[in-house]
Amino acid sequence: MSPRERPETSLDRRAATALLLEGRDDLLVVPGLGSATWDCAALGDNPLHFSLWGAMGNASMIGLGLALAQPARRVLVLTGDGDMLMGLASLATIATQAPANLALVVLDNERHGETGMQLTHTAYRTDLAAAARACGFADARQVADEASLRASLPLVHEAPGPVFLTVKVKAEPLPRVLPPRDGAFLKDRFRTALLGENTAH
């Protein structure tokens, strides 16, 4: 099967990430493994980012657990199309649990960026926003330009969730900017920033 015609987009992945995190304040962010984690790190290391170095397909479920545990805080899962496709069934669970404070944003370049830029299913027939709508998300959209992304920021940051946004971005290799790689350190730092706990032993 040939890839379908790609929506026209001039959106740069890192510029889109910067826009999504602009004025983030106390937003809790779960960047999925690979590109999303590197893009968030490129904007500066932040203790309220729970960066994933593995667990492909689990960013959405980690975000769900965090949203349920912290209902007074806004939670943003920011991940790629490959990661979201791996955890597609999570959309049904998230819609069923219906956390009002959870937003999922997929930076969709229609590629597996970590393994050689192979096409993902979104380059063919799969529409992730349509899947989220079918699962029962409160709102699910797709954007492919800066104006539409800006118009969708209130959805991401304020609208009752769970909400879902696919952001079509250019398929381009970008330099990797790596956050800390120690999982225990990231977990303890995130907990400290979230709860103000003293985790020293």
Show the DSSP H helices in 74-199 as ranges.
Answer: 81-86, 90-97, 128-135, 146-157, 183-195
In a domain? residue 179: no
**What is the pLDDT, as a whole number, of residue 180?**
81
CATH number at residue 98: 3.40.50.970
In a domain? residue 57: yes
pTM: 0.89
Distance of CA 3 to the CA centre of its chain: 24
The number of domains in the chain is: 1
Q: Report the alpha-carbon distance of residue 41 to residue 146 in Å, rounded.
A: 21
In a domain? residue 186: no
Residues of the chain with pLDDT under 70: 1-2, 4-7, 112-117, 197-201
pLDDT per residue as tens digits for the range 106-160: 999 878 666 656 787 888 889 999 999 999 999 999 999 999 999 999 999 999 9
Q: Report the alpha-carbon distance of residue 77 to residue 64 in Å, rounded.
A: 9
